[in-house]
Structure 1
Amino acid sequence: MRPTRLALPGAAAALLIVPLVGVGPSVADGHDDDHDEVTLEDRTVLVRTLDNPRGITVDRSGDVFVAQAGEGRGRDGRAPCFPGPEGDVVCLGATGEITELHMRGHTGRLRTTTDVVKGLPSIAARADGSAAIGPSDVDFDRNRLFATIGLGADPAVRDRMPAAYRDLADKLATVHRFDLRRGTATKVADIGDYERTTNPEKDDFDTNPNSLVSDRRGHVVVDAGGNALLHVDNDGDISTTFVFPKEAAVSSPMGRIRPDAVPTTVVKGPDDAYYVSQLTGFPFVKGTATVWRFERGEDPEVFADGFTNVIDLAFTDDEDLLVLEIATNGLASGDPKGALHWVDGDDTDDRKVLTTNLTLPGGLALDGDHVYVSNKSAMANVGEVLRFTLDD
């Protein structure tokens, strides 16, 4: 990846070279005192030993599913290693997983956990498995579990893997469907092949499917590497919905740069439109991330802006928007503190910071008043799933 297109895992890795300072609880005031009553309470760590946990979803019974990007090669000493997108050495392994948190109905209380899908590809730093790229998001469609598996590089790298690892590498940069009862996995769409043949951005080759949401005709997919919003229909055919343009030029240590947009997640809103969050690429200028609204057949429009390095979104039952920032002071700041914002669905200027008691969060999901966040999302062995209670 180019320095101007640091995708989520690689960008977050830069923060790991600084000590992780303690972050205390914080509930900050927003623009409107009328919404001081909107609070986030009862912070609980449900799980604390995950490997680079990312996207989260909740099924109809209230169980929570989280994509773990893995820890690269893990204990596989024969795993292939190669120069990574940030210039370091990364290794491929089969440590990516999808984990189910079995809850007690919709109470928010955990019964037990199960790794329901194992052996998915993961690329991570050789030394400690941090900042992995692998399973990145999960979503259900008619009780079928789907997941994006990232890459963050030219998809041609998959063809250069040793023969013993070729099948594993071929799962990178794809959308997969999993039958949890039968234990089967099916490749639904190869986003990497689509980039190689179509290259929607008409730029360098860089594929990193980072998020998906189901619709009646298939799935809407965000490619954070290709800066594109894609559609995968039920037959696996891929089409381009929108390509995000570069941002306005900003100053950086390398001179004036137009940062890449780097879309990070897509969710369906209460109005059936799609909402897409934006990370913004290097140098990760604070306050420049946008939430876009897409309605089929119409041009995209800005729904809310002024955020920093947004990584996920979710709508509440009251049709307000929660916005999750992976680094509220910017990924280049050296500060791993994340933040969760509440935004009024009718007046997006009316907003509030609910908490900054987060460390590089990576995923967000709601189940009624229960808010689930994957925390420490660029770290191996210490990743968490947090539960909060939203009182609005």
Structure 2
Amino acid sequence: MKNLSIFGVLTLSLLLLTACSKESITPEAILEHGAITAKAGKKMSSEGFITPLFGLATAPNGDILVADGGAGIANATGTTNIPLLGVTDVAPIGTGSMWAITGAIGGPDGAVINTGQGLHRVSNGNSKLIADLFAFEEAHDPDGAGVDSNPFGLASLGGNAALVTDAGGNDLLQVDRQGNIKLLAIFPDEVVSTANLQALVGCPNPDFAFICDTPQLPAQAVPTTVVVGPDGYYYVGELKGFPAPADASNIWRISPNASGAACGTSADCMKLLDGGFTSIIDLAFGPDGKLYVAELDEQSWFAVEVLGTGVGGTISAIDIETLNIEEVATGIMGLTGITFGKDGSLWATTHSLNPSLAEVIKIAM
């Protein structure tokens, strides 16, 4: 069964477990099947975040750029400069130019369809679709789990190419400026514990008997983020799909020479860290050379998306040589993106699903 969620109620899973109806977390964005559906009658505004907020990036001039899925590419105060509905990440190239990706926008009854999942080139305030990533997934389905495309993580390789993690397709792609797509790596399912989900739903619980009686389940990787390391390798973080395990999100290290690498078995795509994180949502290398990891919530995405609870996300720093991990900040509600400013300051999104509270904040280090 294909992964159903990045930010979305796991409709099928919930129907199997509880026969509950779909529910949304915020009144301004209904998130289902990893898709963004604008609220009926809600007009896009150029002032103030519409939400959900996703990736952050820093422009060459120092501006903080925000992927506001409900509106487009915005600045840190919420002014939308480039309309692009469904944008999930942005990666600057130079002054006035950048790459951007758009994820899935909800189809009828949450169906996974081609709603514009793609890589875009943005120049002088205008965006142009470079590659149809849904069409690639539909033609190739690299992970063999059925057609599902939700581009979510993006990294620039300069003006000629970009890297994209497709969280629905469970793969890493390289796309050049002509729209040619190369499959770099495929991320595997892993059998994980259901203990976290059992704790969240309060087992024993007759409404969740299936979960309460099942100690382990296979989970899809759901790669949410990619960055280029100082060593030239590509680093990818996982959200981990249903059953939303704790401490099971991996970080992968991929060779820039990888081609169709089966992660975990190919030497071109091996784990930097085997688990240890919960619901990784973003990565960024800091000026100190460390890899900074943003976890959506310490209780997992299920707590946030399905139960509407959670205790907040955490940002940690990893020395990629020694693998020493240091906690930088925790308890950040609605953490979905991080970036470093030109002055070395760390910025993060908070309350990213709530249009009345969403903002970009500086993290004290």
TM-score by length of 2: 0.74
Cross-structure match for 2:89: 137
Residue 302 of structure 2: SS of its match in structure 1? Answer: coil
4+ residue stretches of structure 1 with deviation over 6 A? 12-15, 152-155, 157-160
Residue 247 of structure 1, aligned match among 162, 173, 190: 190
Contact 2:192 2:248 in 1 (8 A): no
**Which residue does the alignment assign to 1:387?**
362
**Superposed, which structure 2 residues align to 1:293-372 within 5 Å?**
293-297=253-257, 298-304=267-273, 305-333=275-303, 334-348=309-323, 350-367=324-341, 368-372=343-347
SS of 1:323 mapped into structure 2: strand
Measure the CA separation in 2 of the matches of 1:226 and 1:136.
15
Residue number in structure 1 paired with 2:252 = 292
Letter in 1 for 2:166: D
Q: CA deviation at 1:336?
A: 4.4
Where in structure 2 are the equivalents of 1:225-264 lying within 5 Å?
A: 225-251=168-194, 253-254=210-211, 255=214, 256-264=216-224
Q: Is the 2:338–2:348 contact (alpha carbons within 8 Å) kept by the matching residues of 1?
A: yes
Whether the 8 Å contact between 1:154 and 1:205 is mirrored in structure 2 is no
Deviation at 1:16, TM superposition (A): 3.6
Contact 2:192 2:245 in 1 (8 A): no
Give the Cα–Cα distance (whole angstroms) in 1 for the partners of residues 256 and 302 of structure 2: 35
Change (3 A) 1:290 1:176: same
* 1:374–1:258 Cα change, 3 Å: same
How many angstroms does 1:140 deviate by? 1.0
**Structural mapping, 1:1-392, within 5 Å:** 5-10=3-8, 16=25, 49-70=49-70, 96-101=71-76, 114-118=79-83, 120-121=84-85, 134-143=86-95, 144-151=97-104, 170=115, 172-180=116-124, 183-216=125-158, 217-251=160-194, 253-254=210-211, 255=214, 256-297=216-257, 298-304=267-273, 305-333=275-303, 334-348=309-323, 350-367=324-341, 368-390=343-365
Distance 1:300 1:152 in 2: 30
Residue 114 (structure 1) shift: 3.4
Greater alpha carbon shift after TM alignment, 270-279 vs 212-221:
212-221
Deviation at 1:382, TM superposition (A): 2.5
Quickly say closer, same or farther: Cα 1:10–1:362, change in 2 above 3 A.
same
Cα distance in 1, alignment partners of residues 128 and 111 from structure 2: 18
Q: Which moved more, 1:298-307 or 1:287-296?
A: 298-307
Q: Larger deviation: 4-13 or 227-236?
A: 4-13
How many angstroms does 1:380 deviate by? 3.0
| SS of alignment partner, residue 219 of structure 2 | coil
* 1:330-356 Cα shifts (integer Å, max 9, x gaps): 2234414111112223211x2122221
Q: Take 1:159 and 1:320, find their aligned partners in 2: how far apart are those partners?
A: 37
Correspondence for 2:35: none
CA distance in 2, matches of 1:14, 1:294: 37
Cα deviation for residue 69 of structure 1 reads 0.9
1:113 CA displacement: 5.8
CA distance in 1, matches of 2:335, 2:48: 13
- Residue 93 (structure 1) aligns with: none
Measured in 2, the distance between the counterparts of 1:363 and 1:322 equals 11
Could you tell me which runs of 5 or more consecutive residues in structure 2 were left unpaired when the two chains were aligned.
Answer: 11-21, 27-46, 198-209, 258-266, 304-308
Instruction: String of CA shifts for 1:163-198, please: whole Å, max 9, x gaps.
Output: xxxxxx75x211111223xx4221011101111111
Distance 1:51 1:176, change over 3 A: same
- Taking a change above 3 Å as real, the CA distance of residues 202 and 153 of structure 1, as seen in their structure-2 partners, is farther
Q: Given that residues 89 and 102 in structure 2 are in contact (C-alpha distance below 8 angstroms), is that contact kept between their aligned partners in structure 1?
A: yes
Please say if residues 15 and 331 of structure 1, whose CA atoms lie closer than 8 Å, have aligned partners that are also in contact.
Answer: no
Deviation for aligned residue 1:232:
0.5
Task: Give 1:266's aligned amino acid.
Answer: V
Identical positions, percent:
28
Contact 1:152 1:206 in 2 (8 A): no
Matching residue of 2:38: none
CA change 1:300–1:178 in 2 (3 A) is same
The TM-score normalised by the length of structure 1 is 0.70
Task: Report the residue type matching 2:221 in the other structure.
Answer: A
Deviation string, structure 1 residues 227-256 (Cα, Å, up to 9, x no partner): 011110121011211111101254473544
CA drift at 1:383? 1.4
| 1:293/1:312 CA distance change after superposition, 3 Å | same
Q: Please tell me the residue identity of whatever aligns with 2:318.
A: V
Distance 2:105 2:48 in 1: 26
> What is the alpha-carbon root mean square deviation over aligned residues?
2.9
- CA distance in structure 2 between the partners assigned to 1:267 and 1:337 by the alignment: 23
Q: Secondary structure at the match of 1:248?
A: strand
Structure 1: gaps (5+ residues): 18-46, 71-95, 102-111, 122-133, 161-168
In structure 2, what is the Cα distance between the partners aligned to 1:188 and 1:257?
38
Amino acid at match of 1:294: I
- Could you list the per-position Cα deviations for residues 347-370 of structure 1 after superposition, in whole angstroms to 9, with x for gaps in the alignment? 11x212222131121111012431
Give, in whole Å, the separation in 1 of the partners of 2:170 and 2:156: 19
Q: CA deviation at 1:294?
A: 0.9
Distance in 1, Cα, partners of 2:112 & 2:155: 28
Q: CA deviation at 1:8?
A: 1.9
